[in-house]
Amino acid sequence: MKQGLPILPHEWEKYARVIVFDGVCNFCNAFVNLVLNRDSDDLFKFGTLQSPPAKEILRHFQLSTDDYETFLLIEQGKLFTKSTAALKILRKLGIPWSLFGVLLIIPRQIRDPFYDFVARHRYQWMGKSDSCRVPTEEDRKRFV
C-alpha cells in the first residue's frame, strides 16, 4: 500500500495524529504505553483496530479487518502503515526514540520485511489478551 494516502472523510480526521493499534496484542499495548509515557505534549490519540471507525478505514484501504498485519498512523488526514507508521511515531517522542526516525531514509521495501517479521511473531513473543485494552481514567482523554 502506498504511504500517505488521504483517508476518506472520517470522524478521526479531526485529530492531528491517531495511532490505531491491535487492542488485544500485548506487544502493541506495550508500544502504546511507551508513547503515552513519552508523549508529554499529547500529540497522539489512540484507537483500536477492533473499533467500527478503524474497520471502516481498513475496508476502504482493502486491509484485513480480522487478521491485523499492521497498525495505522493517521497523521494530518493521511494514512501510514507498518515501519513508516512506527518510525514517524518514534521520531516525535524525543531522544533517544526520535533517533530511529533516520531509518525513514531506508526504502520501505527493505524496512517492512523486518516489521512483518515482528508482526508475525508478536503474539508468540508477548501474548494476546482476551479483550481490548481499557484505558485508565487518566489516559481515557487520549483514546477516540
pLDDT in tens, 50-60: 999 999 999 98
Q: What pLDDT is attached to residue 110?
A: 97
Beta bridge partners of 6: 78
Say yes or no to pLDDT of 129 above 90. no
pLDDT recorded at residue 43: 96
* 66-90 pLDDT, tens digit each: 888 889 999 999 999 999 999 999 9
Domain assignment of residue 42, given as a range: 5-126
Residue 1 has pLDDT above 80, yes or no: no
45's grid cell: 490519540
Give the rounded distance of the alpha carbon of 29 from its chain centre.
10
Is 12 part of a structural domain of the chain? yes
Which of the two residues, 64 and 107, has the higher pLDDT score?
107
- On whether residue 131 sits in a domain, the answer given is no
Question: What does the pLDDT look like over 94-116, one tens digit per residue?
Answer: 999 999 999 999 999 999 999 99
DSSP 65: S
pLDDT above 90 for 31:
yes
Angle between helices 82-90 and 108-126 in degrees, nearest 10: 80
Question: At 50, which CATH number?
Answer: 3.40.30
In a domain, 88, yes or no: yes
The answer to whether residue 136 sits within a structural domain is no
Q: Report if residue 143 sits inside a domain.
A: no
Is this structure's pTM higher than 0.95? no
Q: What is the mean pLDDT of the chain?
A: 92
pLDDT at position 82 is: 96
Residue 133 covered by a domain:
no
Q: Residue 98: its pLDDT value, please?
A: 95
Task: For residue 91, give the amino acid letter.
Answer: R
Helix (H, G, I), strand (E, B) or coil at 29: helix
Asked if residue 144 is part of any domain, the answer here is no
User: What is the count of structural domains for the chain?
Assistant: 1
Does 110 map to a domain? yes
> According to the model, what pLDDT value does residue 135 have?
80
